[in-house]
Each structure stands twice: as structure tokens, then as C-alpha cells.
Structure 1
Amino acid sequence: MSRLDEARLALMLLTRLPAGQIKGDVPDIAAARWAFALTGLPVALIGWGALSGGAALGLAPLPCGFAALAAMALATGGLHHDGLADMADAAGGRDRAHRLEIMRDSRVGSFGVLALVLVCGLGASALATMPRAGAALMLSAVISRLAMVLVLALLPPARAGGLGASAQGGGPAWLPGAALALLLALPLGWAGLIAISAAAAAAALVAWRARTTIGGQTGDVLGAVQICSETAAWLALNAAL
């Protein structure tokens, strides 16, 4: 089973982008974790294209920021946004079992809508006036997906089934993403390190909330980690660059 098949599986799981066909046995999701961070690169390039295209058409900065968000959401199928909304809705649960039940529900409640509006608004505002947007988008996309891999390693599954349980495994799956993140941070100097710190803080906050309210991580928690850490990185880069 090749690394290419594992990378294809990661792209199929985390995006809606064409990834070709996997011939033969499909790799375990846990084996594909090393490639999670890499899937952020094509998504970031799509967002950068939308941001630059909007500016070339003469759109104001804020609509350009929302265009970039929309393009990236289309590329991922809104997968991570759905996780954020479900986790926010679960905040109103009575206990652990009720919160997990809410997170399984495909409907979005008022907490979920508010979370999406606030996070998307902050993200679009940060991207609207982002210096060196291409480098900023690529770094943020990689470190936010690397955060998912780290949360997978550090938190137990909150329930037996689902992505959170099937993607767990041993080994340093975070190393390729960490190496790529450091490489992408170098051209940004101290701003890159600040962005990594901001993303880590946001991911840690989401992980702590998940650990204390539902006992661990799920696919929805991983989605919330990605969106929140990416938005935190955008805000940090907007301020630091």
C-alpha cells in the first residue's frame, strides 16, 4: 500500500477535490494522518485565487475575503464548518450523552449559526486586508490541519465510532506536517511563529472544551479545531505582518 494512496485518501476525506482512484486495498484512515496537513495546500491555493480574482475584478476588500472563504468552503464541502456548528450547538446539552446526541443531529441550531457567523466574519475581515496573502493562507491551512493530527494523538475518542476513533493510531504522523509548517513559516519571519502560536492556542482551547464536556474528540471536534485554529492564525498574521 503506497504513500500516494494514503495521500489520496486524506484528500478524499478532507476535501471535495479530485484525487484519482485507489487501486487495491484502501488504506486505514489512521495511516493517512501524515497527509492531513498537506491537504491544506490546494485548499489555500483555491482561496488565494478567489481573493486575488476578486481584487482583480475591482471588488472591495471585504467581499474579496468572503469570496476566498466561500471558495475554500466549496473545496472542503463545508466539512470543518459543520463540525464547528455541531460543537457549538452541543454547548447547550444537559450532559455528555445529550451533547453527543446533539452533535450527531444534522440540523444546525442557534448556537451553531452564531458560531459560523462570528468565525466567518472574523476570517473574512482578516483576509480582506491580509498582507502577503498567499503565504499566509498556505501556512494557516497547513498548521490548522496539523492541529487536527495533534488533537487526534492527545485526546481519546469520545465515542466508539466515527472519524475520531477510526483515525487514531501510533507513530509520529505529525512530523511531515510540522516540517512543512516550519518551512512555510520561514518566509514570514516572526509573524509565522506568532501565527503558529495563535493556532496552537485556539486548538488547545477547543480540545480542552471537548475533553471537559464530552470526554474526548470526535470528527466534529476535529473540524472545529481546524476552523478555529485557521481563523486564529489569520488574525495573528493580519496583525503581525
Structure 2
Amino acid sequence: MARRRLDLACGLGLLSRLPVNWLLSPAQRASTALWPLSRSIWCWPVLGAALGGLVGAVFCLLRLCHVAALPAAGLALAFQCVLTGGLHEDGLADMADGCGGTTRERRLEIMRDSRIGSYGVLALCLSLLVRASAVAALPACAAMLALAISGCLARAALLVLPASLPPARPDGLAHSLTPLPRGPLWVGLGLAAGSVVGLAGGMGLSGTWADASIGTQAGAWTFVWTGAGTGHPSALFTTLLICLVAAGATLAAATFVGFAARRLLGGYTGDVLGAAAVLTECCILAGLTALL
């Protein structure tokens, strides 16, 4: 139990700015040993789902207070940046700036520069625009679950890239994850899959999208899955469709970032992982709006 608590503290300390000392035993608090970052990867997707759910809860509370959808989404994302410290957004901006370099060495040098360039600003603005408009387009309850799903799979993408790419540098976050332990990797991916299925099932069972145009878009398939041919998708069909869209969006974002990292940098860095997380969230949230 103490080992699992240390893993949770390590993951929570990396992915958020929340206090973690309460998770540690007195001996662990007094220890000066390095935290087992690579061993903690199993809990990243679950923590991502919890953080996304908190952001979604803020959005729901603002909507209950009759705040308009787009300002409520913007404020919820502002809360997310405070909650996570903008860690992934910083990685996205750095990777976008690095793409302007002409050589691998120059790109890595630019990515380590604390200054932000025009590419980084554009990437941040566009990512916030996509996420805020997508959240605003979803019903409040659906948005909360969608943010939990996107948060979960965004952190799952952080497990896939280190498993398929070498570190681009001999130091930094990427180096500390190498070699990636296979046991925690498969546990993390399994927990991610289970969490997404459960959250998607909650969306289907809640009937949030019962009257949405998904019934029209699905066409003849809805007759099969509803059983009664009512024209509205059943909970099972809705759950399956949400899972497929979320998984496809995650695969597309991770593949794109992984291909760019291999070609431009020769591997992954911490900034690459941050960029993958943000782009995954953008793709998932945008994809879910297509179901409405």
C-alpha cells in the first residue's frame, strides 16, 4: 500500500500542482531518494480522468449559475491550467517553436529555450480555442464526462509514445522514463480502457444525447441497436460510438505527434509528451461534438 501511495504521489505531483505529502508515509517524506517516476505510469490515466472530471464539474457549476456556455468553458479551462500548472501547454508551445528549426540539434535547442515564439503562441491559442468551443458545444453533463475521457486518454497517450520512441536527449523527463517498465505500462493502459468504457457508459445510460442528431447520423444502425427502431440510439450503441471516436482520436493524435517527433527530433522529450496530451484532448473533444 505504501508503494502504491508513493506512485500516486509521484503521478499527482507530475500531472498537477495539488499537494501530495498527505499520500506519503513519514519515512517517505523524510527520504531523499528519487521518486519512481517510471513506475508511477500505471496511475497517470486514472489521475487524468479525475483531473478532467474536476474541470468538467467547474463547467457544470458555472452552467448551473446561468453563465453562458463559451465563457463557462473558458473559465473551466483556466481552472485546468491552474490545476495542472500548464505543464502540457508548455510542452505544446515548446514543440511548436522547435518545429521552426532547420536541424535536429537546433530544434532541441529551441525547445529548451524558456522564451516563446510565434509558433508557440499560435499553437496555444488554437488549442484553447478548439477545446473551449468543443466543451461549450456539449451539454453540461456530457461535457463533464467528455473532459474526464479526454483527460484519461491524453495521459494514456503519454504511455504510448515512450513505448514506441527512443529518448531524444540523454537527460530530462524522457531519459527518466527509460527503460519503460512493461508491467505498469499494461496496467495503465488497462485502467485507461476500463475508465473510458465506464465513463462512456455513463454518458449512454444518462440519456444525455437521447434526443441528439446522433440518431439521424447513425442511420440504419440505430434500428439494430435500439431494438425498437425508435430512431434514437440505445445506451449500448452510444457507449460504443463514444469509445470508438475517443480511441480513434487518441490514435490519430499520438500517431501524428510520434511521427513528427521521430522525423524532426529523432525521439521524444517531455515537451513532446505535453504536446501529445494537448492535441489528444483537442481531437477527442472535437470528435465528440460530431456526435451531436
- Shorter-normalised TM range: over 0.9
Aligned to 2:162: 152
Aligned partners of 1:127, 1:181: CA distance in 2, in Å?
A: 21
Structure 1 pair 130/184, CA: closer, same or farther in 2 (3 Å)? farther
Aligned partners of 2:250, 2:72: CA distance in 1, in Å?
A: 23
Is 2:47 the partner of 1:32? no
After superposition, residues 36-51 of structure 1 pair within 5 angstroms as 36-51=44-59
Aligned to 1:127: 135
Coordinate RMSD, CA, aligned: 1.5
Deviation at 1:67, TM superposition (A): 1.4
After superposition, residues 1-241 of structure 1 pair within 5 angstroms as 2-20=3-21, 22=24, 23=28, 24=31, 25-131=33-139, 132-168=142-178, 169-186=180-197, 187=201, 188-241=239-292
Deviation at 1:34, TM superposition (A): 1.4
Deviations 1:21-60 (A, max 9, x none): 5414443211111122122133112211221122122221
Whether contact under 8 Å (1:45, 1:138) holds in the other structure is: yes
Aligned partners of 2:93, 2:131: CA distance in 1, in Å?
A: 15
**More divergent stretch after superposition (166-175 vs 74-83):** 166-175
Structure 1 pair 135/176, CA: closer, same or farther in 2 (3 Å)? farther
**More divergent stretch after superposition (4-13 vs 33-42):** 33-42
Q: Which segments of 5 or more consecutive residues in structure 2 lack a partner in the other structure? A: 202-238
**More divergent stretch after superposition (172-181 vs 85-94):** 172-181
Structure 1 pair 214/41, CA: closer, same or farther in 2 (3 Å)? same
Letter in 1 for 2:193: L
Letter in 1 for 2:285: W
Whether contact under 8 Å (1:191, 1:236) holds in the other structure is: no
Structure number, greater radius of gyration: 2
Secondary structure of 1:160 counterpart: coil
Letter in 2 for 1:179: G
Secondary structure of 2:21 counterpart: coil
Letter in 2 for 1:69: L
Letter in 1 for 2:185: W
Deviation at 1:17, TM superposition (A): 1.2
